[in-house]
Amino acid sequence: MVHRCCSKQKIKRGLWSPEEDDKLLKYVTTHGHKSWSSVPKFAGLQRCGKSCRLRWINYLRPDLKRGSFTDEEEQIIIDVHRILGNRWAQIAKHLPGRTDNEVKNFWNSCIKKKLISQGLDPQTHNLLSSHRRSSTCTTISTTNQYSNSIFFMSSQIPNSPMQTRQTLSSLPKAQTNTFQTPPTIIPSQSQTPNILPYELSDLPCEPSFENPSNICSSSYMNPSKVRFSNNENNNIWVSSIDAEDLRVQPLEEEGLESQVQVEKDKTYEKGIDHEIKEAGKGNLETNGYLESSNFDFGLLESLLSSDLMFHDLNYMDELAWNF
DNA sequence: AAGGAAGCCAACCGCCAATTG
DNA sequence: CCAATTGGCGGTTGGCTTCCT
């Protein structure tokens, strides 16, 4: 079926010729593309506007990066996909110069197979059932072998004396690591009214989120640290916990809070927050991981795009932190 | 060397949401 | 407010290339 915008004109289809590319490139670089539907007419192309747009975005745009994906880009795709699922446009935003189509093709042709060969479900990033049979769900070492990230959420009110057991969930990782001995994290009483004690050995294999007013992430890529974040009525604070001394270290709550808020505001300006939330919804529906939760993908995205994560630490570590 | 299979990727399709008149 | 149009996105297809037998 021909798209509505194409129905009124005689349109050419299929691969673009160098001459067509030249026409489109010249027109868009000199006149821009206020309305894609009028581009083919003014550029002298027998194509529909949609086709012109696609050709520009996927091939002619001057800021496109050429060549094969780097290992770093591949890891970013895997990490972001773990959270967003098949939101290729969103994933591509984290890879400057790459298009959603490119990311999608790379995923389908390479990454998917790689994950499957590692015994991971490319959609859920969980162990495939055939691989799960031979593994034990109750030991951290088994979970570690395939995971570098954990998430948990709780309903705990900050400063509340009430403490309930955390439910941890693991999100598998497409690479192995050498972290073997999980620390038991017992926050010091004076500093940790918001953080509940839990043991990593309590990690279940199946992800489960309960009352997600708090979000916590940890990374086995960087097992010495655990980062906690909390979002209460738009007052966001982020703190990190050093698992080696097992004490929570609030990270300059005031300053960081405002910094995060600034980043969040920026994100709102771009409308990304909403997009990520929407993306999150879709992913939840698809994967069934976070059903009935209100996981804050806005916060997630603002942290993702925040200078916070790019300045101090290795990018991949930070992705793991914030996911 | 030839032919079939598999892989890759550009482009299309169809749906949806936003915009416009 | 509503219908038409447009832009954007994810899924899919088909043709070209590479690999294997």
Q: Which nucleotides of B are covered by protein (CB under 7 A)?
A: 7-15
Predicted local distance difference test score (pLDDT) of residue A225: 29
Domains of chain A by start residue, with CATH: 4-60 (1.10.10.60), 140-322 (no CATH)
Predicted local distance difference test score (pLDDT) of residue A312: 35
Is the pLDDT confidence value at A161 over 70?
no
Across residues A18-25, what is the average pLDDT?
93
Across residues A161-185, what is the average pLDDT?
30
Is the pLDDT confidence value at A20 over 70?
yes
The reply to whether A101 has its C-beta less than 7 Å from any atom of strand B is yes
The reply to whether A116 has its C-beta less than 7 Å from any atom of strand B is no
The reply to whether A104 has its C-beta less than 7 Å from any atom of strand C is yes
- In which band, very low, low, confident or very high, does the pLDDT at A144 lie, cut at 50, 70 and 90? very low
pLDDT in tens, A275-312: 444 444 434 333 333 333 334 444 454 444 443 333 33
- In which band, very low, low, confident or very high, does the pLDDT at A113 lie, cut at 50, 70 and 90? confident
pLDDT in tens, A208-224: 333 333 333 333 233 22
The reply to whether A13 has its C-beta less than 7 Å from any atom of strand B is yes
CA angle, A236 then A241 then A247, to 5°: 120
Question: Which of A128-142, A155-169, A198-212, A258-272 holds the top average pLDDT?
Answer: A128-142
What are the residues facing A16 on neighbouring strands?
none
In chain A, residues 274 through 303 whose Cβ sits under 7 angstroms from any atom of nucleic acid strand C? 279
Instruction: State the number of CA atoms in the 13 A half-sphere of A190 facing the CB.
Output: 1
- Mean pLDDT, chain A, integer: 56
Q: Which nucleotides of C are covered by protein (CB under 7 A)?
A: 5-12, 15
